[in-house]
Copies of this chain bind each other. A is one copy, B any other.
Amino acid sequence: MRIGIDAMGGDHAPVVEVQGALAARAVLGPGDRIVLIGPEPLLRKHLPAAGGWEEFIELRHASEVVTMNEAPVEALRSKPDSSLSVLTQMHRDGKLDAAVSAGNTGAFVAAAQMHLRRLRGVHRPGIAVVTPTPHGSVTVCDVGANVSCRPLHLHQYGVMASLYASIVCGVANPRVGLLSIGEEDAKGNELVKKARDLLREEKSIRFIGNVEGRDIFSGACDVVVCDGFVGNVVLKLMEGMGMTMLKGFIEDLRAAMPDHLDTVKKAAGRIMARYDFNEYGGAPLLGVGGICIICHGASSAVGIQNAVRVAREFASRRLNASITSMLSGREKVAHA
């Protein structure tokens, strides 16, 4: 298996990408290779001078870089030799089995749609994030690929994220909830009300109806379906709130038990790790004709390493074939 990494993507590129590629050796199978894409002289500067890395890492030169705040489509058009464009084009040409980037998410989604196309039957790709909770992981989809959802899109996110949760994450018969503002059918906006009807008719998934914001952490469901605007707000809120609350608690405890700073620090470290996005290694873009793993812009080398692990799991379970067989030939609901 050959896994490509956009070496120029994240906030700390190419340092963490190169370190992540080196660390990825631990999660590669025999014969697997990493392809690092970016300005070759720069990448060589960050790779060990003593060598050894050539055994599992290849370099592919790309001279340009899409930055974080560029408008996606314009950036891809004006920079045909960007590391991100080269990544998805190599994947399209069969030179890679999966693509990993911590760069501009919008540009990655656009490049994936442009070069890899959507899977047959899929109307809009969605980003699925696996969120740790005390009751197990919860897969939230979409968290930002599609901010103008139609009911059909939410229906397809339910199907695709349910397949991901069961096939890749190993959750048996995942419970799928639709994110709304109350359990009752009457609650929600027009989009959610129409999507609920479609999801309820969908026999291939275990749809449990509406869930609320608090249910992401209550153990009520394994998959949460929402539009990309709401999902992105939720994702960033969880990140910001988690860090803020933990910091407050730790400060409180440090003041209360100055003799036990070490224990407090260790407990804090454990819970931080439990909620650390790096442990989960990146979010798959579901519904495109390839395997694209989107990493947090602030990913560490561990985050990149884990994204490679996620990419391998995604590829080895043949998820895309399952999505296509489930969603193609379903034109009867396409009007929704």
The answer to whether B186 and A212 have CB atoms under 8 Å apart is: no
The answer to whether A252 and B271 have CB atoms under 8 Å apart is: yes
**In the assembled complex, which residues on chain B have CB atoms less than 8 Å from the CB atom of A241?**
214, 216-217, 238, 241-242
**In the assembled complex, which residues on chain B have CB atoms less than 8 Å from the CB atom of A180?**
229, 233
Interface SS, A side: helix
Q: How large is the interface on A (under 10, 10 to 19, 20 to 34, 35 or more residues)?
A: 35 or more
Stretch of A20-28, A88-96, A257-265, A283-291 lying at the B interface: A257-265
**In the assembled complex, which residues on chain B have CB atoms less than 8 Å from the CB atom of A77?**
none
Contact pattern, A 147-159, Cβ under 8 Å of B = 1, otherwise 0: 1100000000000
Copies of this protein chain in the complex: 2
Nearest CB of chain B from residue A142's CB, rounded to whole Å: 11
A194 part of interface (Cβ distance < 8 Å): no
> Which of B229, B246, B260, B270 meets A189, CB within 8 Å?
B229
> Which of B148, B186, B243 meets A190, CB within 8 Å?
B148
Bound state CA distance, A164 and B293, in angstroms?
43
The answer to whether B252 and A256 have CB atoms under 8 Å apart is: no
A133 part of interface (Cβ distance < 8 Å): yes
> Which of B188, B192, B214, B233 meets A240, CB within 8 Å?
B214
**Given A232-B181, A233-B230, A257-B263; A270-B242 close (CB under 8 Å):** no
